[in-house]
Structure formats: C-alpha cells, structure tokens
A = this chain, B = another copy of it.
Amino acid sequence: MNIGLPEAWKTLCAHDDILLLTHRLPDGDAVGSLFALYEALSAMGKRVRYLLDTPPQDVNFLVREYTGDVFEPLFVVTVDVADRKLVYETPGTAYGDRVDLSIDHHASNNLFARQTLVLPEDAAAAEVLFELFTFGGVRITPRIADCLYTGIATDTGCFRYPNTTAATLRAAAALVDAGADNGRINTDIFETKSLAYVEFEASVMRSVQMFLDNRCAVATIPLSLFASTGVTEADAKAVNALPRQIEGVLAGVTVKERPEGGWRISVRTRAPLSASEICKRFGGGGHALAAGCELDGDLQTVVPQIVKAVEQELTSKNI
C-alpha cells in the first residue's frame, strides 16, 4: 500500500527493534540512505541494526561497523529498493519477505512491502529521507548530512542528470549548511580515480561498439578485465555512464560478465527513450533513463538481444 510522508513518519515513530535493508551491490544512495536512517532512528532511542552488502570503495567513509546485538527485528525497513528480489540478505535470513516499510524513489517500485513511501519525482532515496526528516523535525547532524548528501550526489551524477530538480538543489544546500562536507565527498566520489581505474575506463571505452546508426553504443566488460586491473564490480559502476556520453547516442549499454555466470546489463538512455522499458523486456527495471537487467548466454547472443530491444523501443517512440 502506498503511503505519504505523514503516515510513514508515524509508522516509523511507532515501532522499535528495527532492521534496515537495502539492495545488493549498494551504491552511494543505498549506503547513504541506510546510515542516515540508522542515525536518525538511533537518535530517537530506538534499537536499530542493518544488513549491508560490500559497498563501493568511494563511499566506504560512510560505513560504520555494527557492534550491537543481533536482535530479532520487529519492524523491517528497506531503502532504495524497488523489488523484493533486489534485497540484500545474508544466508538463512529471508527478511525481504516481510518488509514492513519500503522508502524509495523508483517509479518502478512494485509495492512488495506492506507499506511503501515512494516519491518518484525525487532524485534519490536520500532526497525522500531528507523530506521525511524535515517533516518529522529530525535534527540533521553533520553525519546525517554527509550520508544524505552522498546519496543525492551519487544518484544525480553530482547534479548533472535530468532528475535534478530545484528541490534537489535546495536539499543539497540545506545539507551543506547542516555540515555536509560536499567538497571532500565530491572529490572522493567524482574526482578521484586510481591508476587502475583509469586503465579500466580506457579499456571499457575501447570496447565500445556502435549500432543502429550510432544511436546505440555497447561496451562489454569481461571478467578478465576486472581481474587484470583489480577493479571491483562495485567500483566499476561509474563506467555505466560513459557509453551514453558519446554524441548522438540515445542508448548507452554496458554489458558486464558476472562471476556467477551470465551478464549484468546497464542501460542509460536519453529522453524520450526509456531504459526502464528496454530492461523490462528481460525482467529488469529501474528509472526512465537508467535501468538494468540480467541475461544469460554468450556475448554473441546477448549483445544482439539488447540491441534488438533498443531498436524496438526506438520504433515504439517513432525515433
């Protein structure tokens, strides 16, 4: 069931012994939102714990080890998760099946939780939390400000993407006023590349193939490139933005080999082309301009499948 800010706030206030979850392969928004909510609920005197998959290197500075009891939760909350199957869980737990409240900004959220606060106009789950905290009168400490700023900056490409609204910029301004160290966070996330990553990025760009009259660019990343450069899958997310940057490209696709077999596909589009529609054809989803899915098979069959889907989406939009 969809709920609004007042009801979500009331529900959070009414519960204790809370478990926080987010998605597998967490990005800066997942990590930032999880810890912001952890801090806010802890400050309210609640017992809170979380489960978190390995975060990318560049947002490690936000991570605090949980040293409390592993209590049995009475209330389960997800942040930045659109679908039950994306929830990160540890072996033997199935908390994703009993999520009480999902706090999210994905239009594609499939209402898997008992109650869902989803604000699809918001650029990040962290922006939803900023609104929720503002509604609830939560004191934004410098630590919470760092967490929320990181979430918003990550999901907007530091305010570059068209999901950035005036409200997003105002939220960021308020977080900087509250003590978010935006200069250092931006430097860490956006302005620092290891020499290994520079090499990785160059290889990814060399792999780009152009299709559909240069309107579709596909980069392919074999496991061997991760191995030879030492770049991890979590750290490699930033390259997803690159193929779409090529002039004239409407769909930029990144095809990454998965350690467990098969391929993880990232699709970034320019409006009006829908990345979400393209990925839905393969059981995936996401945002209008940034979505993902997974495919099995070898590269010789996977790439043409994706290109075909992009072509169908182009046709359906009369482009």
The chain A residues found within 8 Å of chain B, CB to CB, are: 157-162, 164-167, 169-170, 172-174, 176-177, 182-184, 186-187, 190-195, 198, 202, 205, 241, 244-247, 270
Residue of B at shortest CB range from A268?
B191
Min CB gap A26→B, angstroms? 22
Q: List 25 A-B residue pairs with CB atoms under 8 Å apart, sorted by A's residue number.
A: A158-B160, A159-B159, A159-B182, A159-B186, A160-B186, A160-B190, A160-B191, A161-B183, A162-B184, A162-B186, A165-B176, A166-B173, A166-B176, A167-B173, A169-B169, A169-B172, A173-B173, A187-B270, A191-B244, A192-B245, A194-B246, A198-B205, A198-B246, A202-B202, A202-B205
Q: Give Cα A182 to B205, complex, Å.
A: 27
**Is A162 in contact with B177, judged by CB distance below 8 angstroms?**
no
**Which residues of B sit under 8 angstroms from A159, Cβ to Cβ?**
158-159, 172, 182, 186
- By a CB distance below 8 angstroms, the chain B residues around A176 are 164-166, 169
Q: Which residues in B have their C-beta under 8 angstroms from that of A195?
A: 246-247
B169 with A173: CB separation less than 8 A: yes
B residues less than 8 Å from A165 (CB atoms): 176
8 additional A-B pairs beyond A162-B187, A192-B246, beta carbons within 8 Å, are: A158-B158, A159-B186, A160-B190, A161-B191, A162-B183, A164-B183, A195-B246, A198-B205
Give the number of times this chain occurs in the complex, counting copies.
2
Contact yes or no, B247 A192, CB < 8 A: yes
Give the residue name and chain of the B residue nearest to A174 (CB): B166
How distant is A187 from chain B, measured CB to nearest CB, in Å?
A: 7
In the complex, what residue of chain B is closest to A183 when comparing beta carbons? B162
Could you say which residues of chain B place their CB within 8 Å of the CB of A182?
159, 162, 164
What separation, in Å, do the CA atoms of A39 and B195 have in the docked complex?
A: 45
Inside 8 A of A205's CB, which chain B residues have their CB? 198, 202
Distance of A157 Cα from B176 Cα, bound (Å): 17
Chain B residue numbers with a CB within 8 Å of A172 are 159, 169
CB-defined contacts of A158 to chain B, threshold 8 Å: 157-160
Q: Which B residues lie within 8 Å of A160 (CB)?
A: 158, 186-187, 190-191
CB distance from A148 to the nearest CB of B (A): 13
Nearest Cβ distance between residue A40 and chain B, in whole angstroms? 21
User: Do B177 and A161 have beta carbons less than 8 Å apart?
Assistant: no
A164 — which chain B residues lie within 8 A by C-beta? Answer: 176, 182-183, 186
Q: Name the residue in A159, A172, A245 with the highest tally of chain B Cβ atoms < 10 Å from its Cβ.
A: A159
How far, in angstroms, from A169 to B205 measured CA to CA in the complex?
32
A239 to B264, alpha carbons, bound, how many Å?
A: 31
Looking at the assembled complex, report how far the CB atom of A221 sits from the nearest CB atom of chain B, in whole angstroms: 17
Bound together, the chains give a CA A247 to CA B194 distance in angstroms of: 5
Select which of B166, B183, B186, B198 is within 8 A of A177 by beta carbon: B166
CB distance from A111 to the nearest CB of B (A): 28
- Measured in the bound complex, the distance between the Cα atoms of B174 and A165 in whole Å is 10
Give the shortest distance, in Å, between A189 (CB) and chain B (any CB). Answer: 9
Quote the shortest CB–CB distance from A9 to chain B (angstroms).
Answer: 24
